[in-house]
Amino acid sequence: MPLALITGASRGIGAATARTLAGTHSLLLGGRDLPALQALAEELPDARPWPVELTDPTALAAATSGLSTVDVLVHSAGVARVGPLTAAPADLWRGIYEINVVAVAELTRLLLPALRAAKGHVVLVNSGAGRSANPGWGPYAASKFALRAYADVLRGEEESAGIRVTSVYPGRTDTDMQRTVRADEGGEYQPERYLRPESVAEAIRAAIAATPDAHPTELDLRSRPVR
């Protein structure tokens, strides 16, 4: 079966994506929470944990060195903090960029030979904040705008090698990250108003399953009332 590596697979959109691709792909489940990754791996066929610190270049290089072909790389790991720019010191900016941008770029760079060998597919889970930046979302939105630019460049550089690159822009999604965001905003958490992680995962699956003549470059997802 084709191999899919999913970062942020311990929960949220990453875990939902792993469940959606199970049965059609062998899975490497990336994340920091080893017990959660192990529990998910036991639930799914042909899945194993891939507990790697994405911000550690040495660990990342070691973990990717044995991968000769990778058919699908889903970048779902990410961090978000909201608040005014006056409350965003340099360390906060650096921390968000390290996970949301730098780790994505480095992991992809290390896996490019394996992705080229498979004519693989890179999926980047972006955000509505990567389309429009609102007050209080400075560092996070900036990182997602940077991720959007990175995807555009990667797509342009690697399409001739047969690699497809898809950016997915979900609106607010019912995840642990969203709970943290709403707490930072001081707002009520209303999961019924948000996308389900499974809905985002299904869009990712559809992009990956697109016929070879099609290159799904961008997917925008917004929640809507279910009647």
pLDDT tens column, 176-219: 777 777 877 777 878 788 889 999 999 999 999 999 999 999 99
153 in any annotated domain: yes
Q: What is the mean pLDDT of the chain?
A: 94
Pairing status of strand 3-6 against strand 47-50: unpaired
Please pick, among 97, 140, 169, 194, the residue that the annotation labels catalytic.
140
Distance CA 11, CA 23 (A): 19
Q: Is residue 227 part of a domain?
A: no
In a domain, 169, yes or no: yes
Which residue in the block uniquely carries the two structure tokens 């489940």? Answer: 29
Provide the CATH number for the domain around residue 171.
3.40.50.720
Residue 171 or 65, more confident: 65
Task: Please say if 97 is a catalytic residue.
Answer: no
In a domain, 137, yes or no: yes
| Total number of domains constituting the chain | 1
Q: Is residue 111 part of a domain?
A: yes
Asked whether residue 85 is domain-assigned, the answer is yes
**pLDDT by residue (tens digit) across 50-77?**
999 999 999 999 999 999 999 999 999 9
Q: How far is CA 88 from CA 92, 145, 182, 212, in A?
A: 6, 17, 17, 44
Cα–Cα–Cα angle for 166, 216, 6, rounded to 5 degrees: 35
Contact between residue 124 and residue 154 where contact means Cβ atoms under 8 Å apart: no
**Which residues is 219 bridged to in the sheet?**
168
Name the residue range of residue 53's domain: 3-221
Distance (Å, rounded) from C-alpha 95 to C-alpha 124? 19
C-beta atoms surrounding 165 within 10 Å = 26
Q: Which of 220, 113, 107 is nearest to 163 (CA)?
A: 113
**Is the sign of the CA dihedral 17, 122, 177, 174 positive or negative?**
negative
Q: Is residue 90 part of a domain?
A: yes
Angle at 54 between CA 23 and CA 162, to 5 degrees: 55
Q: Is residue 226 part of a domain?
A: no
Q: Which amino acid is at 25?
A: H
Q: Using the 8-state DSSP alphabet, how is residue 121 labeled?
A: E
Contacts of 136 (CB under 8 A, 6+ apart): 82, 83, 84, 185
DSSP-assigned beta bridge partners for residue 71 = none
Report pLDDT for 226: 65
pTM of the model: 0.94
Query: In this structure, are residues 42 and 36 in contact, taking their beta carbons and an 8 Å threshold?
Result: no
- For 117, the enclosing helix (H) or strand (E) is helix 103-118
Helix (H) / strand (E) element for 150: namely helix 138-158
